[in-house]
Amino acid sequence: MANHKATKKDVRQAAKRRDRNRYYGKTTRNAIRDLKATSEKKAVDESLPNVIAMIDKLAKRGIIHKNKASNLKSKLAKRANNLAVAQ
C-alpha cells in the first residue's frame, strides 16, 4: 500500500477513473449488443447515431483504441445498411 500522501490520493483517483471507465465501457457494449439484436430498420436508424457517439467518446477518453472504435462503427454501419437492403 502507498505510504505517501500524494500516492494515496493517486490510488483514490485511479480507482474512481477505473470505475467510471468500466461504467462507460459496459454501457456502450450493452448499447452495441442491443443494436445488433434489433432487426427493425427504423429502430436501428434511430439508435445508430447515439451508439456511434458513445463509441467515439470511448476512443476520445482513451478507454478503447481509435482503430477499434473505427472498426466497431464500420461493422455497425455495414450491418445497418445490410438490414436496409434485406427489407
CA–CA separation, 23 vs 28, rounded Å?
9
Task: Name every residue whose Cβ is closer than 8 Å to that of residue 10 and which is 6 or more positions away in sequence.
Answer: 2
Residue 49 Cα to chain centre, angstroms: 12
The pTM is what? 0.86
Determine contact, residues 69/56, Cβ cutoff 8 Å.
yes
Grid coordinates belonging to 17: 477513473
pLDDT in tens, 20-73: 999 999 999 999 999 999 989 999 999 999 999 999 999 999 999 999 999 999
Rg (CA), the chain: 18
What are the distances in angstroms from CA 21 to CA 27, 48, 73? 10, 21, 19
